[in-house]
Structure 1
Amino acid sequence: MKTLRHNKRFALWQLLLLSVVAPVLLALLLLPARAIATTTDVAMLQLLWVTLVAQYAGQRWAIISTFSSVLLLNLLFVEPYYTLFVHQGDYVITFVVMLLLGIFIARLSGRLRLELARAKKYMRQRQLLNNKTRQAKLQAELEHSRAMMLRSLSHDLRTPLATIMGASSMLADDELSLSEAQIREQANNIYQQSSLLSQHFDKVMELSRVQQMQSSMKIEPVAVSDIISAAIARRAPVLAEQSFAIELADTECAADATLLEIALANMLENAVKHGQQPVRIAFSNCNGQCSLSVSNATTARATAQRDSGTGLGTAICQAVMHLHAGQFTTETNAASEHFIARLSWPHTTTAGAKRG
């Protein structure tokens, strides 16, 4: 018979405290505000706790915490109170959405923890060949990468989660008399934000792929025009109808084609979403230093919304440049009001070289 494995960092009683007892205490603390707090307010606070449990305790315990939170929400904050009976069927929508979001967060965290475990395994193998200084550096990079991914997830998931919960709450509220058009609008909001969550999950997969390629990447001569075409095709739904101004001072560079394509695709997507047409793509190879930049005009408001260092797109570009011993930078030209994102890495002519 299978038993529930517990996280090695915590004792079983501590995990039960985090995933079962703590949600009860949180619900009791919120109980005095039941008259003024909506079920959406309570659900968002409960999902915040689920996120913390997922980060520190793991996927299984986050799912347990999600079920506990949904039951407590029904028991204490939905009439009739102190029963699990739901006399308003529309509240089922809120419960289902909250449950799905909690499971989604738990699965994302589980994926991140799996990638962290793989990275640690790789690091242990590398320790046999490296000295203590190198080991310490790898550990620092690993922890930084994990923290960056968690911050990115928190940043990118906050808005769609809030929108989905708000829309589902409106549909479930019997006191609101919504027209058919308003119902369709809120249903469309839920669909659009769910699609956005799916896109974020795809980016997590891209970032995982970038990190997994650390030991197998190939530095070889590639045509810059091919990289640009492949990057646009990768984000075809967003970029297919856009106009681009391409300026190539050189036609070839030395890089891992797949990684460079992934980074450029994220730069182009960000430029199109937050700036104006046309988007300028420029490449040069000067004094042994390759530079691939994406820029376009933008307003001051749009600049503030740009992916300024906390999004998954930025994390992916930084990871790609780290593997190329280069850097990813962004800047705003105050005179022309152009936002510029740039990949810079040293040129090497060693075809087929592997970075390990």
Structure 2
Amino acid sequence: MSHGQPAGRHTHTLAGAAWWFLPLLGNDQVIGVVGLQENTQQRQLSAENRRLAEAICTDIAQAALRTTLVAELETARVSNETERLRSALLSSVSHDLRSPLAAMLGSAGSLISYSAAMSEEDRLSLLQTIQQEGERLDRYIQNLLDMTRLGHEGLTLHRSWIGVDELVGSATGRLRRYRPQVLVELQLDADLPALWVHPALVEQSLFNVLENAAKFSPAGERIQVFARQVDGHLQLDVQDRGPGIAEEERGRIFDMFYSIERGDCGKQGTGLGLTIAQGMIGAHGGSVSAFSGEGGQGTLIRLSIPLLEPDESRQAPDDGE
């Protein structure tokens, strides 16, 4: 059989065997063997049946070969994708971790060495740099941790009620602390229902979208946030007045580590923020999409979150209060 020839019954090799063995050939190699056991009363298989059996074995061999090739291609694809993500992560870490660390170490070193000769204003400026860069580093590490949860552990949704105004106010308040120069305009419809969600995850998703908009908004231009109820969903729109995103790239901005250049802004961040937002909103059964801004200017990111009621089995028991 190692020579790729049939053996057993109906052959000159082990002719007395009760089985007829046919090799499965692929790329001039034996990739398997088919054994056929026949009616012992039948001394000779007809030529037509033998050709049929050989044809079936040829088809089986080709199918097995295709399956093997597909598996090998998928293994190679996964390996290449893993390597691509590893390279992207290393590139991101080299910039997004080292830059704030360098700024913090430089400011701290200046304070240690020259604090006595500095004015109060200069010392305060260095302390503010340490604080701001530390917060920037904290946000980046949080994004990495969130991606680990999304990719491996999954998300456990501990739902509770939160008002839309509270949710938006929390996210925009965080943005103003990190980027006090950014202008945000809120337009929330009246009488919006409360959300039955994991508040921290949804707030983080909205913050990531807001921070992304802030990166690309020109100085003095407002970021607009709209909230409305549409077809059983809360629709949150975040619109910037930046250079916008080409239509063919709008779907890719949610890919892990995908960053694009917009106008004169250059590459900003690692592309983790929108990926995390999509994963967290997706865990709630919602979606995150990108569109062209109003009048074709800027970008609009839309978060759509289902308006759900808690299951009766998950409601807390009434204590009679």
TM-score normalised by length of structure 2: 0.47
- Give the number of the structure with larger relative contact order, counting CA–CA contacts within 8 Å between residues 6 or more apart: 1
| Structure number with bigger Rg | 2
More strand by share: 2
More helix by share: 1
TM-score normalised by length of structure 1: 0.43
